[in-house]
């Protein structure tokens, strides 16, 4: 499932073709994805101007001049693809419609935004912008790791009484927004923290070092266009390439990249997810 860097990459790719422009025609080709679409979604989107595209955790939010906000969740295989942008940001002509093009937004600048989702685990919703943060999918999410409210003091307090493994604590969206399996593995490796160590037993110094490391890992991944491990594509259809920089994720049995350490990367399963780590560097 796309994590924060992938969703942010898509948001940035969509912005030039959507922000400030009107959805001339909203085409909805089925009644639902993971959940039913909101009532009359096509009519409510058609004619609305996109004031701003923003991201909250792993959700893209489009604030409209109609007073509503469209929420987009990519799910396991969802893609938001741009074609025909007259601003020259994208070089792709409009492709022929495909079977899994479930929602298509025809913008008044000639761009076309297509939500394609073969597995249909994605979702869209439409609700009043006022009070949007109280939406059931958004209300309990923790602070953004790239925002000002995520700092040493916050993370120390959030983890101080947690007996859960460190990796599980960081994956809890109520603790930090948007972190997923890939980037938690990479951040814990850089911080030299063992993924199974109880969160409350990690020293204050290590947790303090972890905050800028999380920011760095996410920022580097965003600049690389995210990680393409299955279905993920950027808004222009191109692959991300941060996967080529992984230190541990997906590298089971390969040597640790830390200079002087030739230990093989190991994989364990935590809460049904693969965890990759170096047993020598991470303690």
- 3, 6, 68, 186: the catalytic one is 3
What is the DSSP secondary-structure string of 39-94?
TTHHHHHTT-BEEEEEEETTEEEEEETTSEEEEEE-TTT-EEEEE--TTSS--PPP
Tokens of 103: 């929602």
Task: Tell me whether residue 2 is one of the annotated catalytic residues.
Answer: yes
Tell the residue number behind the tokens 């950027």, with chain if given: 234
Q: Which of 12, 192, 267, 273 is catalytic?
A: 273
Contact predicate 77/117, CB 8 Å: yes
Q: How many CB atoms lie within 10 A of CB 91?
A: 9
58 annotated active-site: yes
- H/E stretch holding 164 reads none
Q: Kindly state the DSSP code that residue 255 receives in the 8-state scheme.
A: B
Cα–Cα distance measured from residue 76 to residue 143, given in angstroms and rounded to the nearest whole number: 23
Q: Are 132 and 201 in contact (CB under 8 A)?
A: no
Residue 174 annotated in active site? no
Separation between Cα atoms, residue 168 and residue 181, nearest integer Å: 9
- Annotated catalytic residue: which of 55, 56, 58, 112? 58
C-alpha to C-alpha distance for 10 and 16, rounded to whole angstroms: 11
- The verdict on whether 264 is a catalytic residue reads no
Query: Annotated active-site positions, please?
Result: 2-3, 58, 273
């Amino acid at each position: 499932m796309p994590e924060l860097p992938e969703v942010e990459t898509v948001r940035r790719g969509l912005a030039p073709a959507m922000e400030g422009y009107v959805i001339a025609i909203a085409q909805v080709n089925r009644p639902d994805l993971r959940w039913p679409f909101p009532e009359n979604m096509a009519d409510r989107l058609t004619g609305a101007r996109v004031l701003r595209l923003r991201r909250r955790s792993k959700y893209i939010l489009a604030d409209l001049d109609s007073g509503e906000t469209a929420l987009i969740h990519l799910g396991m295989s969802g893609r938001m693809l741009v074609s025909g942008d007259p601003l020259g940001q994208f070089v792709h002509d409009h492709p022929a419609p495909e079977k899994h093009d479930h929602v298509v937004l025809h913008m008044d600048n000639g761009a076309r935004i297509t939500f394609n989702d073969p597995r249909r685990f994605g979702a869209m919703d439409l609700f009043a912008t006022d009070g949007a943060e109280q939406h059931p999918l958004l209300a309990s999410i923790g602070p953004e790791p790239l925002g000002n409210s995520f700092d040493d003091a916050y993370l120390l307090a959030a983890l101080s009484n947690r007996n859960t493994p460190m990796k599980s604590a960081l994956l809890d969206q109520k603790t930090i927004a948007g972190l997923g399996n890939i980037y938690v593995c990479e951040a814990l490796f850089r911080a030299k923290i063992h993924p199974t160590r109880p969160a409350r037993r990690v020293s204050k110094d290590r947790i303090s070092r972890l905050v800028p490391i999380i920011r760095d890992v996410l920022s580097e991944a965003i600049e690389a266009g995210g990680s393409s491990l299955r279905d993920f594509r950027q808004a222009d259809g191109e692959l991300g390439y941060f996967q080529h920089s992984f230190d541990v994720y997906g590298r089971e049995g390969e040597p640790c990249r830390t200079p002087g350490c030739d230990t093989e990367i190991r994989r364990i399963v935590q809460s049904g997810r693969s965890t990759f780590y170096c047993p020598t560097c991470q303690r």
